[in-house]
Amino acid sequence: MAFTDIESLLPHRKPFLFVDTIESYDENGCVCTRKFTEEDFFFKGHFPEYPVVPGVILVETMAQGGGAALSLQKKFDEGSLFFLATVNNVKFKHQVRPGDTVRMEVVNKRCTKNMVVQEGKAYVGETLCAQAEWMCLVGKGN
C-alpha cells in the first residue's frame, strides 16, 4: 500500500513538495512517484510554448523521495532537515512534460545520523529520464 502523507515526513510544502507517494521502501532504498501537472509553477516560464520539467526539479524530486522514505523509517531524530550538499554524475536523458508521472528509484549508498548519500533514477513509464547521485547533510534548522 502506497504511503501518501508526505507532509508528515518532509518540511517541504507546495509549491515545492515534489513527492506524491512512497510506493515501497526498505533499508536499501525506495520507489516514489510524482505526477507533474500543468498547475506546477515552473511551467509558466519553462517554457510557456513547450513546458518541460526543469532538470534541477527532477534532481530535487529524487532527493525529496529518498529523504521522505528515510524519514518514514525513522532513521533520524524527529524534526531533522535534509540539506542538499552535493550533486554528482547527473544525466538528463528524456524530457518530462505536464501530465507525466515520474517513478523514482532511489538507492541508499551511505546513511549516518548526519549525512545521507543516495543515487536515483527517474522514469516515465519504462523510459529513463534522469539519473543522479547526491549527498544531503542532516541537521536542525538552527
Q: One of 23, 42, 46, 72 is an active-site residue; which one?
A: 46
Q: Quote the pLDDT of residue 28.
A: 98
Q: Alpha-carbon distance 101 to 121, whole Å?
A: 13
Q: Is the pLDDT of residue 74 over 90?
A: yes
Active site residue 46: yes
Whether pTM > 0.85 for this model: the answer is yes
End-to-end CA distance of the chain: 35
The 10s digit of each residue's pLDDT in 90-99 is 999 999 999 9
Topology of domain 6-140 in CATH is: Thiol Ester Dehydrase; Chain A (3.10.129)
Tell me what pLDDT residue 137 has.
96
Read off the pLDDT band of 122 (50, 70, 90): very high
Please, what is the Cα angle at 11 between 43 and 89, to 5 degrees?
Answer: 60
Q: What's the rounded Cα separation, in Å, for the pair 127 and 95?
A: 10
Q: What residue ranges do the domains of the chain occupy?
A: 6-140
